[in-house]
Homo-oligomer: A and B are copies of this chain.
Amino acid sequence: MDQVRTDLALEENERIQEEKQEETRGVRVEESYMEKEDIRITTVHIDTENAARQLGKPRGTYVTIEASSMSQPDEEGHREVSRQMADILKEMLPRTEEGKELSVLIAGLGNRNVTPDALGPQTVDHLCITRHMLREFGRYAYEDPATPAISSIVPGVMGQTGMETVEIIQGIVENIKPDALIVIDALAARSVRRLGRTIQIADTGISPGSGVGNHRNSITRETIGVPVIAIGIPTVVEAATIVSDSVNNLAQALSQWETMGMLSRSWNALDEAEQRNLIRELLSPQLNNMFVTPKDIDASINAMSFTVAEGLNIAFLGQQS
């Protein structure tokens, strides 16, 4: 159903496969599983424009790390997730010329005052920032002469700033000219099971309508002028999704009952337009501005922000925060 929204390419691909009962052309999926650490890494490559249209996500590579340990206070488990994240990031980051240090701007998107949207700002709080030290003391600022120049910004959300996030970031990027931009954002998932235990890393940047705060403009290589890596963590499910899923479950249940002779004309006998109209009636317009979030969201956001920051710190400085 078109109302169902997910920012995870993985979930969108699952949904389409389920609907069509076949693999989507133009999409390649690789999966690996680390049994001991219970970490699953799934890479979804969207290779063609046609596939991109179907999934509603731009062409590119989307890597998802899933680990149940993320939501548990298991420090070693978190560190392994951070290490995996660092490896994936290093793969995606642009190479610089020999002898030239890499320069990266990291933007923590979202609203610091709304718990499930605070992931980006909180992650930035834990980053090791180096650009100002390198500019002041040069290569001697750090032991490793290849230490990248890391800068960061928490741009805020449009209701606070009156500006689109992309307007703020464009200006800063034009002025300080980093080699790459990394944006960190809280995402909407389709399944509550994925909340607080999934990280998506994509080389595509951010598209309109994505994120908890619903960005209205692209933050991509096209709009920003440098490669954009998006790190996202699902922290909410749209309220409409929950209802829609439940109604679909009910429809399935009803159709099974029918086979037992209980219903002469089932939900499935309604054509698709009829089904949609029915569900639209059930989704009150008020639900469009609502999201569903776990009750322990504060502890979860806090833990995840450390894990993501450590992944970035390892990728750039080869060490933990």
- Residue positions of A touching B, CB distance < 8 A: 75, 111, 113-115, 124-125, 129-133, 149-156, 158-164, 167-168, 170-176, 192-193, 212-214, 237, 239, 242-243, 246-247, 249-250, 253, 262-265, 278, 281-284, 286-287, 289-299, 320
Contact = CB atoms under 8 A, between A and B. Distances in A.
A281 B245 CA distance: 12
A151 B155 CA distance: 12
A269 B182 CA distance: 56
A156 B153 contact: yes
A289 B278 contact: no
Contact of A283 (B115, B173, B246): B246
Contacts of A265: 262-264
A264 B266 CA distance: 9
A113 to B, nearest CB: 4
A317 B1 CA distance: 44
A177 B253 CA distance: 54
A221 to B, nearest CB: 17
A161 B152 contact: yes
